[in-house]
Amino acid sequence: MTIDKLAALRGTILFGELTETELSALAERAVERRLARGEVLFIAGDEAAGLFVIAVGAVRAYREGLDGREQVIHVERAGATIAELPVFDDRPYPSTVAAEEETIVLFIDKRDVKRLCLDHPNIAFAALKLLAGRLRRCAELVEALSLREVDQRLAHWLLSAARVRGTRGGEGLQFTMHLTNQQIAARIGSVREVVSRALTRLQQNGLIAVDGRTISIPDENALEIYADGS
């Protein structure tokens, strides 16, 4: 399978507004890399020569503790970019990044990105907007980890997952969970067993209903109140 580099670049917020000529020039210099599920793209602290555009698939950026426990910082899917920070501050990769599924990324040299930012103020502005969003989410995560307990963090996470992926119906808001408890744990800052028990508790309280891999939220509002307040 070959991919259309041009289309992939055009699909990003960062490069979407370039002219066809500029896009082609960038596409020619872009280097494709394929990742198997779980494969690591780079490790936190590695020297960074540029950023990556996700053409197909999804990746997670995370930090690892000594015991091997992971904390996911953010997840990005096709159309997004990762490792922008080294472009702007010339420092190493801030997090380790691994593929969540079969993924194809395009490497873009940071000098190219810099030049584009300086030539096109609106690209720089798009990058600013992008980083602003990241920073907001990161601050949310800090707040959650520091000031909320696991059950609340889980409730909050389920709610936002449902709002992104879910559909509204007779059972209320519902969606299909495609992650393992382990993966959820890594995102909300906990461990497998605790997530398992927390899910049980949420069910017992009637805040969610679980049927196989389908999770329903009968009363969105009630779950929200629980998530940030108890």
Binning the chain into helix, strand and coil, the percentages to the nearest 5 are 45, 25, 30
Which run of H or E residues covers position 34? strand 31-35
Going through 78-227 in order, the beta strands assigned E by DSSP cover 81-82, 96-99, 103-109, 167-169, 172-176, 209-211, 214-217
- With CB under 5 to 8 Å by kind, the binding choice for 100 among DNA, a copy of itself, none is none
In our burial notation (b when 16+ CB lie closer than 10 A, e otherwise), range 177-190 reads beeebebbbbbbbb
- Rounded CA-CA distance 79/89 in Å is 23
For residues 70-99, which are near a copy of itself according to CB under 8 A?
71, 73, 84-85, 88-89, 91, 94-95
Evaluate whether 75 touches 133 at the Cβ level (below 8 Å).
Answer: no
Evaluate whether 42 touches 50 at the Cβ level (below 8 Å).
Answer: no
CB of 197 to DNA, least distance (A): 5
CB of 65 to a copy of itself, least distance (A): 3
What tokens were used for 213? 């891999």
- The count of chain residues that interact with a copy of itself, using the rule CB under 8 A, is 43
Task: Annotate each residue in 137-166 with x if it binds a copy of itself (CB under 8 A) or - if it does not, as one string.
Answer: -xx-xxx-xxxx------------------
CB of 190 to a copy of itself, least distance (A): 9
Stretch that binds a copy of itself, among 6-14, 49-57, 136-144, 159-167 (CB under 8 A): 136-144
Among the listed residues 3, 40, 43, 135, the single contact to a copy of itself using CB under 8 A: 135
Which residue number, 4 or 205, has a Cβ lying nearer to DNA?
205
Answer yes or no whether residue 49 interacts with a copy of itself by CB under 8 A. Answer: no
Stretch that binds a copy of itself, among 19-27, 60-68, 176-184, 207-215 (CB under 8 A): 60-68
Evaluate whether 186 touches 193 at the Cβ level (below 8 Å).
Answer: no
Interface positions with a copy of itself (CB under 8 A):
63-66, 69, 71, 73, 84-85, 88-89, 91, 94-95, 114, 117-119, 121-122, 124-125, 127-129, 131-136, 138-139, 141-143, 145-148, 189, 229-230
